[in-house]
Amino acid sequence: MEIVKENIVTVTPENFQKEVLDCDKPVLVTFYANWDQPCRMQQPALDSIADKHAEIKVCKLDVEEYPAFAQQYGIMMIPTTIAFKDGKKMKRATGLRLEPVLLNMVK
């Protein structure tokens, strides 16, 4: 069983509109899979951002559980992180990214 900290929101196709697109602050969404090593290595950076930056919403979407939804966002490799602001995709980073890079995506 994976452990998701309560300040990281697990998103699904059902709540994506509400949690990400309708959010009034910048949102980082990481498309991931539990078995993927780079995804697991990126987790501490996501935890740190969620802990230290209340002005940024951090979300995760499991591509194994929702492959068709991930495909709608053109996810070909994991982890892929997309920054959203005002319901629009702003920046995208594929592969393992460190905290400063992820933070820079929403600045």
Whether the link from the prior residue into 79 is cis, omega within 30° of 0, is yes
Per-residue pLDDT of 39-72, as tens digits, reads 999 999 999 999 999 999 999 999 999 999 999 9
Mean pLDDT of 32-45: 96
Angle at 27 between CA 4 and CA 66, to 5 degrees: 55
Residue 1 has pLDDT above 70, yes or no: no
What is the model's pLDDT at position 107? 86
Question: Can you give the residue ranges of every domain in the chain?
Answer: 8-105
pTM: 0.93
Q: What superfamily in CATH does domain 8-105 come from?
A: Glutaredoxin (3.40.30.10)
Compute the distance between CA of residue 63 and CA of residue 86 in angstroms, rounded to an integer.
Answer: 23
